[in-house]
Structure 1
Amino acid sequence: MNKTIDTWIKEHAEVSAKLAEDIFNHPELAEEEVNSAGYLRKYMEDLGFSIEENAGGMPTAFTAAWGSGKPVIGFLAEYDALPGLGQDPVPYRSERKGPGHGCGHNLLGAGCAAAAGALKAAMEKENLPGTIIFFGCPAEETLVGKVRMGKAGCFDDVDIAIAWHPVGVNKVSEERQQAMDSKIYRFYGKTAHAAASPEMGRSALDAAELMNVGVNYLREHVPDHVRMHYSYDSAGEKPNIVPDFAQLSYFIRARDRATVDDVSARVDKIAEGAALMTGTRMEMELLTGCDDTLVNETLCRFMMEAFQDVPAPVYTEEEKAFAAELRKNVEGDAHAGEPPLREWIEPLNGHPDPAFGSTDVANVSRIVPTVTLNAVATFNGSPGHHWAVTAVSGMSIGFKGMLYGAQAMAEGAYRLLLHPEVVEAAKKDFAENSGK
C-alpha cells in the first residue's frame, strides 16, 4: 500500500466529505448540474489541476488535467441526482422536495476527485511520469453525458479509465451492463368534441395506447434478457376532447447492442402501425443510445489486488444501527438475520456477469480499457434508485465508502504507473474483445 496515498486520503477526509455533502445538499437533475459541477471544478482547481469547461459541448461537463506523458489515467466522475428522491440523512422516510442522490452520485463525483488528488500526491513525491484526467461527466442517469463526450473524442487519448459506484457491496465489478435506447414517440391527431362529433377527431391517445398494446405483444417474441419500459408524458387534457397530441418515453434494453438495434427497430414499426390504424402522424426521437459494458478482466484482476490491500472502513455501532434501522424501514424483517453492512470484498467471478441495468460508462469501455470498482455506501441488500440510498449518501456510512473507493482507485492507478506491462496487457485484452 502506498503511504502517500493513504496519508493524503486521511488528511483530506473532512474536505472530501464536505464536497460530497455540498453536492448532496444541492441535488440537480441531468444536464442541470450547475452547482455540482462548480463545486468539483473548484476542488480540482485548488488541487492544481488545469480546467477545461464545456467538454463534449455540454455546459456542466468539464475536464481537469495534471501531469504529462504516458500513461494517461482517467477518472470518470458523475454528479447528477434523480427526480423525487429528496431525503434527509436519517433512517426513515423524511422527504425533501425535489430531486435527491438516490444513486449516490454526490459520493461518486467527490470520490473520483479524492482519488485523483491522492494519485497526484504520490506521483509528485516519487516524480512519476504520467497524466491524470478527471472527467466531470454530467447526465449519467439519462445516459447522455459520456455518450456525447465519447462522440466528441474526449476519451480518445486515455490509456486506462477508472470508475467507481457506491452500492451495498465491495467488489471489482465484472457486470456487463445492458445496452439501451432512450426514445420519445410523439403522436399528432385532430381534436373534436368527444361526445358531439367524435367522428371528426383522430385520437393521438388511441395511437399511443395501441402502440403500447403492440409492444406488450412483442414481449413474447424477443430474447428473455430484453426489457422494454415506457411512460406517458402527455395523454390529453380533458376526457371530452379528442386528444390531438400524446407522447411516450421508452427505454429499450438488451445484453448487446445488436439486439437493442433489432428490437428498437421493431418497436418503431409498431409505432408506425399504431399511427396508421388511428389516422394520426408519428414522430420518433432517439434521445440517446448506450452500449453494453466491455469488461476488461486484466484490469479487474489487477485492481482487485490493489483493493484487497486498502484498509477497509471500520463502522461504529451507531452506523451499524443506522443501517439496520434503515433496512427494516425499507424491507421489514426480510433480511433481519444478515449483517446490515457488508464489510468484506466479494471475490471475482473470472468472467463477465450479465446485469439488467445500463450505464454510459459502457460507452467509455468501448473506447478505452475501463474498470469499475464498487464500494459499500448503503445497507446490505439496498434497492437502487431509492430514497434509502439518498439517506445514506448524506451521512458517515456513505462518506466512509467514498473514501474507501477513492483510495482503492488511487492505489490501483498508482500500481499501473509502476507496471506498464499491465497497461499493455489491458490494451491487448481490450483489442481482442472489442474488435478494435
Structure 2
Amino acid sequence: PWEGQNALDAAVLAYTNISLLRQQLKPTHRVHGIFEGKDWTPNIIPDYSQMNWYVRAPTRVEVQAAVKRVVACFEAAALATGTKVDVQFTGSTFDIRQNKALSDEAADVYTKNYGPVDYKYGIQSASTDFGNVTYALPSIHPSFAIPTTGSNHTREFTDAAATKEAHQAMLNVSKALAATGMRLLTDDDFSQKVKDTFQEDLRLRKLEAETAK
C-alpha cells in the first residue's frame, strides 16, 4: 500500500477541505457534492474517484469567487495524496438582473388595468437559467400569485393552477407583458431608456466583479 496513490483518500480529503471551508463562506453560499467510484473493492487501492459538486450563491460574481476556493480544496487534496485532479465545469446559471425600465413599465401597465402589484421587479432568484438571458440583453422575469392554499411544487398548487382564476391571473400578466413589448418596439425613446438601463447594469456588474477580486 505504501507504493499506491489512493484516489479515494484524495476525494475524502477534498470533501473534508470543503467541509472546513464552509465556516468561511457567507451564509447565502451553498456547496454540496457526492462521491462516485469505479470498480472499487476494499482490498484494492482505488486509482480513480469522481466527485460531483454544486456551488451556489446569490450572484454570478459570488459564485465565481466561491468556485476558486472550492477548486483549491481539490488541488490541495491531490497535492497531499500525490494524485492528479481534473476539474471539469459543466455550465452554470446566473442570477437574474431585472431591467428596471422594463419592470417599471410592466408594473405600470398592470396596475392601471388589473390592480396593485406586490413588488415591481419580479423574482430575485429561482431554479431557472433565465438569469443567463438577463446578462445578455434587457429582460424581466415577473412573477404572480394564484389563489391556492398550497405552496409551490405541491399537489395543491398543481390543482389550483388548473382553475379559471389562475388562468385569468396568467392572462392578465401576459397582457401586461405584451403591452410592454409593444411599447418597446414602437417607442424609440422608451427603447433607448431600456438600453441605457441595461448599460448601467452592465457597468454595475463590472464594478461588482472588480470589487470581488
The TM-score bracket by the shorter chain reads: 0.7 to 0.9
Equivalent-residue separation in structure 2 for 1:238 and 1:394 (angstroms): 48
* Aligned AA (1:364): V
Aligned length: 201
1:277 aligns with 2:80: yes
Specify the alignment match of 2:70 in structure 1: 267
* Aligned AA (1:422): F
CA contact (8 A) 1:377 1:392 kept: no
1:235 aligns with 2:4: no
1:303 to partner: Cα distance: 0.5
Specify the alignment match of 1:346 in structure 2: 118
Specify the alignment match of 1:293 in structure 2: 96
Specify the alignment match of 2:135 in structure 1: 366
Deviations 1:150-197 (A, max 9, x none): xxxxxxxxxxxxxxxxxxxxxxxxxxxxxxxxxxxxxxxxxxxxxxxx
Cα pair distance change 1:402/1:243, threshold 3 Å: farther
Specify the alignment match of 1:195 in structure 2: none
Equivalent-residue separation in structure 2 for 1:361 and 1:264 (angstroms): 21
Specify the alignment match of 2:211 in structure 1: none
CA contact (8 A) 2:149 2:156 kept: no
1:225 to partner: Cα distance: 2.5
CA contact (8 A) 1:306 1:412 kept: yes
1:426 aligns with 2:194: yes
Equivalent-residue separation in structure 2 for 1:394 and 1:239 (angstroms): 51
Q: Secondary structure at the match of 1:284?
A: coil
CA contact (8 A) 2:31 2:54 kept: yes
Residue 176 of structure 2: which of 377, 384, 408 is its match?
408
Q: Which has the higher strand share?
A: 1
* Aligned AA (1:392): T
Cα pair distance change 1:411/1:265, threshold 3 Å: same
Deviations 1:81-131 (A, max 9, x none): xxxxxxxxxxxxxxxxxxxxxxxxxxxxxxxxxxxxxxxxxxxxxxxxxxx
Equivalent-residue separation in structure 1 for 2:147 and 2:38 (angstroms): 41
1:286 to partner: Cα distance: 1.1
CA contact (8 A) 1:377 1:397 kept: no
Query: Where in structure 1 are there 5+ consecutive unaligned residues?
Result: 1-197, 313-343
Specify the alignment match of 1:202 in structure 2: 5
CA contact (8 A) 2:148 2:160 kept: no
Cα pair distance change 1:379/1:230, threshold 3 Å: farther
1:229 to partner: Cα distance: 2.3
* Aligned AA (2:37): A
Query: Where in structure 2 are there 5+ consecutive unaligned residues?
Result: 207-213
Specify the alignment match of 2:15 in structure 1: 212
Equivalent-residue separation in structure 1 for 2:123 and 2:160 (angstroms): 30
Cα pair distance change 1:415/1:430, threshold 3 Å: same
Q: Secondary structure at the match of 1:283?
A: coil
Q: Which has the higher helix share?
A: 2
**Which piece of structure 1 moves more, 359-368 or 389-398?**
389-398
Equivalent-residue separation in structure 2 for 1:425 and 1:218 (angstroms): 43
Q: Secondary structure at the match of 2:118?
A: coil
Q: Secondary structure at the match of 1:280?
A: coil
Deviations 1:51-81 (A, max 9, x none): xxxxxxxxxxxxxxxxxxxxxxxxxxxxxxx
Equivalent-residue separation in structure 2 for 1:390 and 1:199 (angstroms): 59
Equivalent-residue separation in structure 2 for 1:389 and 1:199 (angstroms): 56
Equivalent-residue separation in structure 2 for 1:380 and 1:389 (angstroms): 10
Specify the alignment match of 1:252 in structure 2: 55
Residue 382 of structure 1: which of 151, 163, 175 is its match?
151
CA contact (8 A) 2:93 2:128 kept: yes
CA contact (8 A) 1:214 1:270 kept: yes
Equivalent-residue separation in structure 1 for 2:90 and 2:149 (angstroms): 34
* Aligned AA (1:426): V
Q: How does 1:7-156 map to 2 (within 5 A)?
A: none
Residue 226 of structure 1: which of 29, 32, 51 is its match?
29
1:218 to partner: Cα distance: 1.0
1:242 to partner: Cα distance: 3.4
Q: How does 1:161-200 map to 2 (within 5 A)?
A: 198-199=1-2
CA contact (8 A) 1:378 1:393 kept: no
Specify the alignment match of 1:128 in structure 2: none
